[in-house]
Amino acid sequence: MFDFRRRRMAIAAAALTASAALALTGCAGGGDADAETYDPDEEVTLNLAFWGNDVRAALYDEAIAAFNEEYPNITVNSSFLGFPEFWEKRQTEAAGGGLPDVMQFDYSYLRQYSENGLLLDLEPYLGSIIDTEPLSDNILQIGVVDGETTGIPTSTNAWGLFTNPKLLDQVGVAEFEGGSWEDYSDWIGEVTAAGAGAIWGGTDYTGRIQNFEIQQRATGKDLFTDDGEPNFTEEDLAAFWEQGDEVRVVTIPQQRLEEIYPVSGFDAALTASELTWDNFGAGYLGNLGEEYTELGLIAPPVTEEGAKDLYLKPSMLHSIAASTDHPEAAATLVNFLVNSPEAGAIFGTNRGLPASETMLEGAELDPLGQQIRDYEASIADRLGDAPPVPIVGYGTLEEKFRQLGQELGFGTITVDEAVEQFFNEMDVVLDQ
């Protein structure tokens, strides 16, 4: 058993619509930007904010208690909210210049807050207060915006294909063995035929922007450039959505999905596969019920052999407010929450698969957590650099993409009309 109390981190011891308001309130850091050391005798108080529920709050309380065993002079006051409310409060605080010292951060908001000068550049603390040895370069690059590191990932996930072995046994079809998108479509059709109107092979994958993204990345293009400009054409998007013309015939009907909303076809044991982020597994098992004890998890279909189309995405990050009065102490707390085996033992996979090797050492993975770890190791050859940090308004575009996918599923819109609407929406988002 890992002796957490004997192991000490030596280096450590040494909302989208608010863009205008945020731009007006961006401010410089409250500490010395060149400071790389921490005074262990200084009595400080830090505010820590995160989103989650009572379960996660109890885990943070335990982690703070462990942190205080090493740093008794740092008082940490924590608070949490649900995800939407968390960002509503951050918006209000940002407008008033009062963000918490340390925050759990979501990838989709990182560019917005970073570009408005609201997050501390962590570069002076990397390799000193914040140990970088346990974090790969790919992981560290995820938190870089315009050349500044403003977030450190706590955990990662990757795009994958979940399957339901129990349903596949029920219809007598073998697991998908991998292959092209056409192979996957054929497999979906085989499952649907065997399911005889009660079980389908999957959902129309052209309704998810992430599937478009990995097909684009297979050609060497991210969806957006480093400058936030679109990196795909109307023809690219039309070609992707046209793939759905045949697959929609064999996937679960859109009307059936509407009837069971807010759960998905996979949650409801109506579809045998689902393309999504690999950290969705626990939620699926919870919704499926006790009779479903396992899931399959394999790589998505291949667009181009040898392409680096997949990437690790942060489940969440930790960031520090630029306005903090205690940047060194805040960096010390971030290092503990991101790197320490103690935090790994406490959180497990609650925040996703730990991104830090030392944190992962401390985590006792349940079977699903180990499956996700094995999956991410299995796709190492397909992992490329993470795309640029999402543009401001990316969440709006992701939702528009999903809505247009629904309309295509209902047959109330043509591919050309969907492409036109999406590009019109993108113009509005990029002009804000």
- Contact 390/113 with Cβ under 8 angstroms? no
d(CA 58, CA 422): 42
Q: Residue 38 has what pLDDT?
A: 62
Residue 91: both structure tokens together:
């918006």
d(CA 83, CA 290): 27
Same domain, 367 and 295: no
Same domain, 392 and 263: yes
- Closest listed residue to residue 116, CA positions, set 98, 143, 94, 85: 94
Angle value at C-alpha 164, between 159 and 166, nearest 5 degrees: 165
> Per residue in 44-85, pLDDT tens?
999 999 998 898 999 999 999 999 999 999 999 999 998 889
Q: Residue 19 has what pLDDT?
A: 40
Q: Residue 37 has what pLDDT?
A: 58
d(CA 120, CA 110): 12
Same domain, 39 and 139: yes
Distance of CA 421 to the CA centre of its chain: 26
Same domain, 94 and 234: no
In a domain, 383, yes or no: no
Q: What 3-state DSSP class applies to 47? A: strand
Same domain, 185 and 327: no
Q: Residue 42 has what pLDDT?
A: 81
Region for residue 104 given its phi and psi (left: phi exceeds 0; alpha: psi -120 to 50; beta: otherwise):
beta
Same domain, 259 and 400: yes
In a domain, 328, yes or no: yes
- Closest listed residue to residue 228, CA positions, set 113, 392, 423: 392
Q: Residue 39 has what pLDDT?
A: 73
Record the pTM.
0.82
Q: Residue 16 has what pLDDT?
A: 35
Domain membership of residue 231 as a residue range: 159-310+388-431
In a domain, 5, yes or no: no
The angle, 0 to 180 degrees and rounded to 10, between the axes of the packed helices 209-217 and 234-242 is 110
* Number of folded domains that form the chain: 2
Same domain, 29 and 102: yes
d(CA 199, CA 115): 47
> What is the DSSP code (8-state) at residue 382?
G
Same domain, 25 and 82: yes
Same domain, 275 and 300: yes
Same domain, 282 and 328: no
Q: Which residue has the tokens 């992701």?
A: 398
Q: What's 21's domain CATH number? A: 3.40.190.10
- How would you label 247-263 residue by residue, b for 16+ Cβ within 10 Å and e otherwise? bbebbbebeebeeeeee
Same domain, 300 and 409: yes
In a domain, 382, yes or no: no
In a domain, 1, yes or no: no
Q: Are strands 144-145 and 148-149 parallel, antiparallel or unpaired?
A: antiparallel
In a domain, 3, yes or no: no
Among 357, 377, 397, the domain-final residue is 377
d(CA 209, CA 402): 7
In a domain, 420, yes or no: yes
Q: How far is CA 395 from CA 82, 111, 351, 391, 421, in A?
A: 17, 12, 20, 9, 16
Q: Which residues of the chain have pLDDT under 50?
A: 1-36
d(CA 252, CA 59): 39
In a domain, 178, yes or no: yes
Q: Residue 192 has what pLDDT?
A: 98
d(CA 347, CA 364): 9
Same domain, 71 and 113: yes
